[in-house]
């Protein structure tokens, strides 16, 4: 069996378990049914293979990835527009690459912010399921 | 004037001012330069005016190192030399290529780009590319197509394509009626006659495949037989010194190198970049700039300050479209998602289904000079009685270190510039498995300021002699990434000026 499948099972179990405790996020998300963040988080949420690979990086800590992402972007208190969010994201990613702060995920050279973003998407996708 | 030894036209003896051995790109360039300077020239060529299997067989040899082309297949032995099958890519070396850099052991020339630069424009004329600069800035502002990308630390390098010029077809005519130049065809230099001191070459001994012999005496001799053969001829001259002519310090034949290429990664490009026609223009799709006859090819590199800061070799990276079926392997299967991410972050729309394009990055970089990579003499003899070549091509361990470092840094800078994301197959990036080498034979009579570190001095004179010069890429001390032909010609032009000055003084 390929290594990533083992990791994925473990990851899914962890993710499901951890997402059950995300009460505050559920409430916020429900209140913002048509919020920009939900739109953002669903933009590429259909790409399960992508999550599978990128999620491996956060397999042990998908919940904290989401919490950290939301916290660092100040999304709990303020849901920006998609464009504002994109600007924040771009700025963070630029700074990551500028500092030389990069991660290799399946060979892809990405910024930690990108991976964090994808980890958050991953957690959100599984929470939705 | 042409004299074909196999037609019985070999003179019993010949005395000239300059004897040039080898009628390839370097030898023909020097002969053309000197033929109207009041000098008597002999241009001695092993082959005739077309490929002769018996002559070509003299190139046969043994490969005992890394896999390499058969030695009689990667070069041509008749008038015009290897220009008769070259690809035509030209580019000058960069300033950094001449410099000693601590992270590239043995790097550095005893001359700088300033010493060679004055000859590049004339070299461009000889290979029939326009005399405009190779600077991306020259092409960018006036271009109607946006094929240059200079963002952040990513820069564009320009290559120009010669038709390609075949020196036989283009320049034989220069010698048909040139009374100052005697071209000896099917004439092989098999040894040099040295003065009693062993420092002055008095004559080149010539032998034909039919067994005839003669000698050419001259005041100046230029060995211009190619990156492998220059070393082999010197090593075979063992009368005065058993280790070979100019080989007192066991350096002749060492530092053999070719230009390596690696499949450095795969890239997903942002929509913004895909709109640029840059990516439609790479091999085999080549642009022809409006108003100029020269075709150019652009490629990526990093700013020189980054090469220095990050201790990287000089390099360039081509971006090549690949068929969609190449995307479905391993981690590359997620590339559509990376593409989605890139476009989301960049604020550009996702590609319509089925329209995605996937790109392969091919990087050519300068290899680290390796003294253990060398041209040696084998045990077998050729039809002239000379020991055949034994090639032991070895990469430096430093090559892998630098290749991995530059690939990672390029990927980071590529993303930082907002051009896309790169996937590195780190397990397979080294050693290279399938990418072709350049068939650029370099370094075997390297230029140095001291005989302890090289074979020829800054004027291409063999350190241990007064009047034997070497022309061609065998004198390259470090190699850059550019195809060597233009620099071979520029150095040959420079050597011509030097010899002319020397003769004038005499």
Whole-angstrom distance, CA of residue B295 vs CA of residue B289: 7
Tell me the two tokens of residue A45.
């949420």
**B422 contacts A108? CB cut-off 8 A:** yes
Same domain, B155 and B268: yes
Q: Is B198 left (phi over 0), alpha (psi -120 to 50) or beta?
A: left
Q: Do B288 and B330 reside in the same domain of the chain?
A: yes
In this model, does residue B24 exceed pLDDT 90?
yes
Q: Residue A52: phi, psi to the nearest 5?
A: -60, -45
Show residues of chain A in contact with B337, CB under 8 Å. Answer: 44, 47, 49-50
Average pLDDT on A93-117 reads: 86
CB B253 within 8 A of CB B289: no
The helix/strand/coil state of B44 is strand
Sign for the CA dihedral angle at B357, A114, A64, A107 comes to positive
Q: Span B74-81, mean pLDDT?
A: 96
Q: How many residue contacts between A and B have a Cβ separation below 8 Å?
A: 77
B400/B297 same-domain check? yes
Provide the pLDDT confidence category of residue B131 given band limits of 50, 70 and 90. confident
Classify residue B391: in a domain, yes or no.
Answer: no
Asked if residue B417 and residue B340 are part of one domain, the reply reads yes
Backbone angles phi, psi at B383, to 5 degrees: -65, -15
pLDDT band at A28 (very low <50, low <70, confident <90, very high): very low
Residue B389 lies in a domain: no
Residue B59 lies in a domain: yes
- The reply to whether B223 and B151 lie within a common domain is no
Total domains in the fold of chain B: 2
In a domain, B8, yes or no: yes
Residue A127: the pLDDT is 56
Those residues whose C-beta lies under 8 Å from the C-beta of residue B452, and which sit 6 or more positions away, are B249
- Determine, yes or no, domain membership for B491: yes
Which strands make up the sheet holding B374-381, listed edge to edge?
A: B61-63, B387-392, B374-381
B240 or B482: whose pLDDT is higher?
B482
My answer on whether B451 and B496 are in the same domain is yes
Domain boundary among B407, B436, B465: B436
- Is position B319 within any domain? yes
Contact state of B412 with A109 under an 8 Å Cβ cutoff: yes
pLDDT in tens, B191-207: 999 999 999 999 999 99
Binary contact (A104, B345; C-beta < 8 A): no
B438: β partners? none
Contacts of B338 in chain A (CB under 8 A): 50, 108
Ranges A30-34, A76-80, B79-83, most confident: B79-83
Mean pLDDT along residues B60-66: 95
Say whether pLDDT at A56 is over 80: no
pLDDT tens string B224-268: 999 999 999 999 999 888 999 999 999 999 999 999 888 888 888
Predicted TM-score of the model (pTM): 0.87
pLDDT tens-digit series, residues B389-442: 999 999 999 999 999 999 999 999 999 988 888 988 877 777 666 566 789 999
Q: Which residue has the higher pLDDT, B427 or B2?
A: B2
Q: How would you write B138-206 as a 3-class SS string?
A: HHCCCCCCCCCCCECCEEEEEEEECCCCCHHHHHCHHHHCCCCEEEEECCEEEEEEECCCCCCEEEEEE
Residues B89 and B219 in one domain: yes
Same domain, B487 and B358: no
**Is B340 close to A94, i.e. CB distance below 8 A?**
no
Pick B202 or A75 by higher pLDDT. Answer: B202
Tell whether B87 and B13 lie within a shared domain. Answer: yes
Judge: B423–A109 Cβ closer than 8 Å, yes or no. yes
CATH label of the domain that carries residue B98:
3.50.50.60
| Nearest CA distance, B294 vs chain A (angstrom) | 37
Give contacts of A100 with chain B, Cβ < 8 Å: 412
Q: How far is B328 from chain A (nearest CA, A)?
A: 12
Q: Are residues B357 and B229 in the same domain?
A: no
DSSP of B316-365, one letter per residue?
Answer: EEEEEEE-GGGG-SGGGGGHHHHHHHHHHHHT-PPPPTT---EEEEEEEE
DSSP state of B422: E
Q: Give the C-alpha separation, B307 to B149, whole Å.
A: 18
pLDDT category, B158, cuts 50, 70, 90? confident
Question: Residue B94's domain spans which residues?
Answer: 1-122+167-257+442-506
B340 Cβ under 8 Å from any chain A Cβ: yes
Q: Cβ contacts (< 8 Å) between A94 and chain B: which residues? A: 416
Contact B125, B32 (CB under 8 A): no
Residues B220 and B190 in one domain: yes
Q: What is the pLDDT of residue B291?
A: 53
Task: Determine the straight-line distance between the first and last CA of chain A, rounded to whole angstroms.
Answer: 25
What interhelical angle do A112-128 and A36-43 show, nearest 10? 100
ipTM for the complex shown: 0.83
The three-state (H, E, C) secondary structure of B273-317, written as one string: HHCCHHHHCCCCCCEECCCCCCEEEEEEEECHHHHHHCCCCCEEE
Question: Are B252 and B265 part of one and the same domain?
Answer: no
For residue B473, being part of any structural domain is answered with: yes
């Amino acid at each position: 069996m390929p290594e990533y499948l083992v990791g994925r099972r473990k990851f899914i179990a962890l993710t499901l378990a951890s997402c059950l405790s995300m009460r505050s996020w559920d409430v916020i998300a429900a209140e913002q049914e048509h919020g920009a963040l939900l739109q953002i988080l669903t933009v590429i949420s259909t790409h399960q293979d992508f999550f599978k690979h990128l999620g491996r990086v956060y397999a042990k800590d998908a919940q904290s990835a989401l919490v950290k992402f939301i916290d660092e972007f100040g999304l709990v208190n303020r849901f920006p527009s998609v464009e504002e969010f994109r600007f924040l994201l771009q700025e963070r990613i630029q700074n990551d690459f500028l500092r030389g702060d990069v991660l290799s995920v399946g060979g892809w050279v990405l910024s930690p912010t990108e991976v964090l973003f994808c980890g958050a998407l991953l957690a959100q996708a599984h929470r939705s399921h | 004037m042409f004299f074909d030894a196999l037609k019985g036209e070999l003179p019993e003896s010949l005395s000239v001012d300059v004897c040039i051995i080898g009628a390839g790109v370097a030898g023909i360039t020097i002969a053309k330069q000197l033929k109207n300077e009041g000098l008597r020239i002999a241009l001695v060529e092993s082959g005739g005016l077309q490929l002769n299997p018996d002559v070509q067989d003299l190139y046969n040899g043994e490969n005992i190192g890394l896999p390499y082309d058969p030695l009689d297949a990667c070069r041509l032995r008749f008038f015009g030399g290897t220009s008769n099958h070259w690809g035509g890519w030209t580019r000058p070396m960069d300033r950094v290529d001449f410099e000693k850099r601590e992270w590239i052991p043995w790097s550095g020339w005893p001359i700088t780009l300033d010493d060679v630069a004055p000859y590049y424009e004339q070299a461009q004329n000889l290979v029939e590319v326009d005399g405009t600069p190779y600077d991306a800035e020259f092409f960018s502002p006036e271009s109607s197509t946006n094929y240059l990308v200079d963002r952040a630390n990513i820069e564009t390098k320009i290559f120009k394509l010669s038709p390609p010029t075949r020196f036989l077809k283009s320049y034989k005519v220069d010698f048909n009626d040139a009374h100052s130049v005697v071209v000896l065809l099917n004439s092989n230099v098999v040894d040099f006659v040295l003065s009693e001191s062993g420092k002055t070459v008095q004559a080149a001994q010539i032998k034909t495949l039919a067994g005839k012999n003669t000698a050419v005496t001259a005041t100046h001799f230029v060995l211009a037989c190619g990156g492998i053969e220059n070393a082999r001829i010197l090593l075979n001259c063992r009368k005065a010194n058993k280790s070979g002519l100019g080989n007192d310090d066991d350096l002749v034949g060492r530092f053999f190198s070719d230009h390596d290429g690696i499949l450095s990664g795969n890239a997903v490009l942002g929509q913004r970049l895909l709109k640029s026609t840059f990516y439609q223009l790479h091999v085999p799709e080549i642009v022809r700039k409006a108003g100029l006859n020269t075709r150019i090819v652009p490629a990526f590199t990093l700013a020189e300050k980054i090469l220095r800061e990050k201790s990287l070799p000089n390099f360039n990276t081509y971006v090549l479209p690949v068929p969609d079926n190449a995307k479905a392997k391993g981690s590359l299967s997620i590339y559509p998602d990376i593409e989605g991410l890139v476009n989301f972050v960049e604020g550009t729309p996702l590609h319509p289904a089925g329209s995605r394009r996937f790109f392969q990055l091919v990087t050519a970089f300068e290899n680290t000079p390796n003294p253990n990579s060398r041209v040696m003499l084998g045990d077998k003899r050729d039809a002239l009685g000379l020991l055949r070549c034994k090639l032991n091509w070895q990469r430096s361990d430093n090559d892998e270190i630098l290749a991995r470092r530059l690939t990672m840094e390029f990927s980071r800078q590529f993303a930082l510039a907002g051009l896309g994301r790169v996937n590195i197959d780190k397990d397979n990036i080294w050693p290279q498995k399938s990418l072709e080498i350049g068939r650029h034979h370099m370094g075997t009579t390297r230029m140095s300021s001291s005989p302890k570190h090289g074979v020829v001095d800054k004027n291409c004179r063999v350190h241990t002699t007064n009047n034997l010069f070497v022309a061609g890429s065998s004198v390259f001390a470090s190699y850059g990434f550019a195809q060597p032909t233009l620099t071979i010609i520029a150095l040959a032009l420079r050597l011509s000026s030097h010899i002319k000055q020397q003769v004038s003084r005499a």
